[in-house]
Amino acid sequence: MNSAISLQKVSKSLGNREILKNISFTVEPGDIFGYLGPNGAGKTTTIRVILGLFKPNSGEVSVLGEDVSKDEIRAKVGFVLEADGLYDNLTAYENLDYYCQLYDVPQAKDKIEEMLRLVDLLDRALDKVAAYSKGMRQKLALARAMVHEPELLILDEPTAGVDPSGQIEVRDIILNMAHKRGKTIFLSSHNLDEVQRICNRIALIDKGEIKIYGELEKLRREMGRREVVIETLITTTEQSEILDDVLSDLQTLPYVRSCYREANKLYLNLDGEVDVSKIVAILSGKNIGVEEVRKGEVTLEEIYARAVKGEEQ
């Protein structure tokens, strides 16, 4: 089966500035793929390359196994960009009807009603879009992207500027599209919580380069192996002072990348597959009891911070 999106060693310059630097990643059918990065990292340029709006200077781009410039491939792609592209002086129904005509959608009336019901806007179908809130506009833009039943949806910041309840609604619509309607989703977003909740794979771009790419849960597991939380048993002020001294000693060890203390807990970032029993033995040698040792959970926010801020992993 062809990849939904494939970029192989793609570079793109605008003027004298190199925006994309030899980037590669694939989006597989059925993915909800999160594309992350700070402002100016190259996310929007990547989307324009995928949609065929920009031609790369080098590298190969394919969508659904073909060149996106082909009309039959473009007809299989739906998208919501940063500017929603809706017509303010038309009603919601008229906006969708216009796109049905562009894509020659059969039984357009039924399809429009189906999409408006999906995004919970059927009761506002005859209202002009100029009267819509930001959240309603985003939901209508999603309906428009879906009206011709594409295989692939490309969404650029679909919840930007939307209030928390609207974000939940948009997220539920995206999940519905992926899990119940079988769509592949490419989601560019600054909302790390949103991506962590719904995406199964991610790529993180910074300064035009892909820094992290892969299955989200696998990345969290791999990076989490180095995070260890040790809950100690300290009951006296003297033991607390000893623990401070132990903390200072641990920071000098070559296999301890970083460590800090919160109350009776030690948080350590270890180098590779270091045996944690070495740390426990040091504590025991100082008469500090250990109640629990566990591997820490690494959040997407931490993964993002390490990649973008250059923190050691």
Comparing 277 with 128, the larger pLDDT belongs to 128
Average pLDDT over residues 206-220: 92
Q: Quote the tokens at residue 286.
A: 């100082």
pLDDT of residue 297: 67
- pLDDT at 313 > cutoff 50: no
Confidence (pLDDT) at 312: 42
* Neighbouring C-beta atoms of residue 128, cutoff 10 Å: 15
Judged against a pLDDT cut of 80, whether residue 124 lies above it is answered with: yes
Q: Tens digits of per-residue pLDDT, 47-78?
A: 999 999 999 999 999 999 998 889 899 999 99
Architecture in CATH of 225-309: 2-Layer Sandwich (3.30)
Q: Is the pLDDT of residue 224 over 70?
A: no
pLDDT for the residue numbered 187: 97
151 pLDDT band, cuts 50/70/90, is very high
Could you report the per-residue pLDDT of 243-267, keeping only the tens digit for each? 999 889 888 888 888 888 888 888 8
164: left (phi over 0), alpha (psi -120 to 50) or beta: alpha
Q: Is the pLDDT of residue 218 over 90?
A: no
Domain spans, the chain: 5-215, 225-309
Looking at residue 250, its pLDDT comes to: 87
Q: Are 212 and 203 in contact (CB under 8 A)?
A: yes
The structure tokens listed for 223 are: 């990076």
Quick one: pLDDT at residue 166? 87
Percent of the chain at pLDDT > 90 equals 61
| Spatial distance between the Cα atoms of 265 and 95, rounded to a whole number of angstroms | 57
Determine what percent of the chain is predicted with pLDDT higher than 70. 96
Query: Residues 259-277: what's their mean pLDDT?
Result: 81
Going by pLDDT thresholds of 50, 70 and 90, the confidence category of residue 310 is: low
Query: Quick one: average pLDDT of 202-216?
Result: 95
- Of residues 26 and 298, the one with the higher pLDDT is 26
- Looking at residue 175, its pLDDT comes to 94
- Contact between 145 and 75 under an 8 Å Cβ cutoff? The reply is no
Q: What is the residue whose two structure tokens read 């350590």?
A: 268
Q: How far apart are CA 311 and CA 302, in angstroms?
A: 10
Q: Does pLDDT of 176 surpass 60?
A: yes
Query: What string of H, E and C letters represents the secondary structure of the chain?
Result: CCCCEEEEEEEEEECCEEEEEEEEEEECCCCEEEEECCCCCCHHHHHHHHCCCCCCCEEEEEECCECCCCHHHHCCEEEECCCCCCCCCCEHHHHHHHHHHHCCCCCHHHHHHHHHHHCCCHHHCCCEHHHCCHHHHHHHHHHHHHCCCCCEEEEECCCCCCCHHHHHHHHHHHHHHHHCCCCEEEEECCCHHHHHHHCCEEEEEECCEEEEEEEHHHHHHHHHCCEEEEEEECCCHHHHHHHHHHHHHHCCCCCEEEEEEECCEEEEEECCCCCCHHHHHHHHHCCCEEEEEEECCCCHHHHHHHHHHCCCC
Q: Which two tokens stand for residue 86?
A: 């809706």
Give CA–CA dist 206/41, Å, rounded: 5
> 5-215 has which fold?
Rossmann fold (3.40.50)
pLDDT confidence of residue 305: 82
| Mean pLDDT of all residues in 176-201 | 93
The Cα 99–Cα 85 span in angstroms is 11
Lowest mean pLDDT among 11-15, 57-61, 74-78, 220-224: 220-224
Residue 81 near residue 186 (C-beta atoms within 8 A): no
